[in-house]
Structure 1
Amino acid sequence: MKLNMRTKKSLTGILFISPWIVGFLAFVLYPLYRTISMSFYKVSFGSKSGWRYAWVGTENYKRILFEEPDFVVEVQTYFVETLLYVPVIIALSIIIAMLLNQKIRGKAFFRLLFFLPIIILSGKLMENMSTYGGMSITANGFMLETLRTLIPSREILLLIVDLFELILQLLWYSAVPILIFLAALQKISKDLYEAASIDGASPWTSFWKITLPTIYSLVSVCVIYLVVFLANFDLNPINKIIMEAKFDGSRREGYASALSLLYAFVQIALILILYYATRNRNSKEGGSNGTYAR
């Protein structure tokens, strides 16, 4: 059977994502349907009657949004922090990836160092590190006292400590984006930079005209990864609220299902906002800087 090129490309794309399609239909579709349907029921359990389901319509959603503000407050915090964190993480990832792409000694060690957080980023380990001060300078008495001798002002000291802890936290989140951008940088032909240099382009100009347009399509991939990663991070208090609701006798699975769906809608909204912001910028870059990128 003869197929045109467009059809062949479409079939190739479908075959490429076919494992995801099979996995979604086999393992995700039915649980998603059960979660949606369960959110409209009040679930209770009795030792004699067992599980009981009572239709309550949108009562779970009204209770979450208007009666119990814990979830709404935490979601607002997550929404704002993600909007602020994601651009900073992506910028840091691009900078670090460019540094690791240079000819330096110990390049493999530094790559492992930045990817190490993902290897050891288990929930229990992170919980213990947070409990015993592994991610906080203020919990380390010796280090805090040393800093106090150097910085007498308490306000300035706390500001510097908070800023340092925030940067450290963002660097931990940037491990996977660094590897993604690093892989893209290694695919850029050196001939492009040589041609730009012959034309009189400075390294700064080469970055804006060659490097950034070439890797910019991967920003959207990193946006989706970071939004989902920050949402499902074990220490995210929203996940704790959902788990506690599941085992709370006055809430149970119906209430927790409604929480999960609302949380999913917030993540989708964040992905759309950041994705289309990236997409618009990408189209502009592609239109104005396509000469060197090609």
Structure 2
Amino acid sequence: VTHLCGAPVVMNMLLNARNQPLPRPVAMMTAGAAPPAAVIGGMEALGFQITHVYGLTEVYGPAVVCAWHNEWDELPDDERARLKARQGVTYPVLEGLMVADPDTLAPVPADGAAMGEIFMRGNIVMKGYLKNPAATEEAFAGGWFHSGDLAVMHPDGYIEIKDRSKDIIISGGENISTIEVEDVLYRHPAVLEAAVVAKPDPNWGETPCAFVTLKDGAAAEPGEIIAFCRERMARFKAPRHVVFGPLPKTSTGKIQKFVLRERAKNT
């Protein structure tokens, strides 16, 4: 095998099934969800050469790529993985890409902090949804395709997804990116898989609830996981609740967060 494609869940399976470097490099393209930097770093340590791409069915698949700069090869492993976890810049065939306010379409500052929605336009963007003019009109309000993904724009022009608009957690008026929390969870040595969703809270509106699958033979307590997160991010972003067990997935390996949101309500 010299080349393969797979979602981040496939990378995580490979990473946890092998602890020896590959006999030769293997080029791998990943997409389908935002890959945790810890998983990218682990895969590259084994000898996989990861290319991270991003797109949607509405733009005919991958339309954005984390184009690599040779000078980044000299950076520390953790920094290289963090850069490669970003979604990146446009493919040549995509005319326009911006991160902007979903209501005004005003681009957000390219500071890596201000969050907005990803918008696209160009010849590879669909004409509309079949026999659904209302959905088409909504998706193209303002002349750009609304992706539904929330992201930041970095000073170098690379975008980085922070969440789906339906997945963002609003706790006490503060936005919490579930992807950011999951990225920290994947750094824990006992964690095999993790997903974070909003749990209704009478005081804060919503709080993060983490669903975690532990590695075979590993052990951890909820308090340990929460403390691990609090040491590595703002305390209000850390999970308030941790539930252990297998994660529900689609046939292609995507985690079904709508199922977890229902579970969180009763946790």
> TM-score interval w.r.t. the shorter chain?
under 0.3
**TM-score, length-normalised on structure 2?**
0.25
- Structure with the larger strand share: 2
Whose RCO is larger (CA < 8 A, sep 6+)? 1
- Higher helix share goes to which structure? 1
Larger Rg: 1
TM-score by length of 1: 0.23
